[in-house]
């Protein structure tokens, strides 16, 4: 799946997690802008993993701070 198609599917997955209806772009940060607690992060990561049938290990999660970085990582992890 190319980056654009991946981004579209991530946009669908993130919607129920974006409780404040924040306008999300590539620079949106999960901790800073979305203000997710660790539990929400875990549920969201699990949802992304299940959607794409991939593993995003804790080690990889540590490198993902923004929405754009997540799209990059998921695009790459699909191989």
Partner 1 sequence: MNDMTKPEAAQTDLFSKFDPMIETRRSLLATGVTDPFSLVMEKVLSPTTAICSGRETILLGTYNYMGMTFDPDVIEAGKQALDDFGSGTTGSRVLNGTYAGHRAVEDALKEFYGMDHAMVFSTGYQANLGIISTIAGKGDYIVLDIDSHASIWDGCKMGDAEVVPFKHNDIEAMEKRLKRIPEGAGKLVVLEGVYSMLGDIAPLKEMIRIAKENGAMVLVDEAHSMGFIGPNGRGVAEDQGVLDDVDFVIGTFSKSVGTVGGFCVSNHPKFEIMRLVCRPYVFTASLPPSVVATAATSIRKLMHAGNKRAHLWENSRTLHKALTDLGFKLGTAEPQSAIIAVIMPDLERGAMMWEALLREGLYVNLARPPATPAGMTLLRCSLCAEHSAEQVAIITGMFERAGKAVGII
Question: Judged by CB under 8 A, how many residues of this single chain contact partner 1?
Answer: 14
Three-state DSSP class for 66? strand
- 57 is a contact residue toward partner 1 (CB under 8 A): yes
Part in contact with partner 1 (CB under 8 A); list of ranges 14-22, 26-34, 41-49, 66-74: 41-49
Alpha-carbon radius of gyration of the chain = 11
Q: Is the dihedral of CA 58, 29, 27, 71 positive or negative?
A: positive
CB of 47 to partner 1, least distance (A): 11
Contact footprint for partner 1 (CB under 8 A): 37, 39, 42-43, 46, 49-50, 53-55, 57-60
């Amino acid at each position: 799946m190319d980056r654009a198609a991946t981004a579209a599917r991530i946009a669908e997955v993130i919607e129920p997690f974006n409780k404040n209806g924040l306008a999300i772009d590539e620079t949106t940060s999960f901790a800073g802008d979305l203000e997710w607690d660790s539990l929400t992060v875990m549920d969201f990561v699990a949802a992304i993993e299940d959607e794409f049938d991939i593993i995003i290990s804790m080690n990889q999660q540590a490198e993902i701070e923004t929405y754009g970085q997540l799209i990059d990582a998921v695009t790459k992890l699909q191989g």
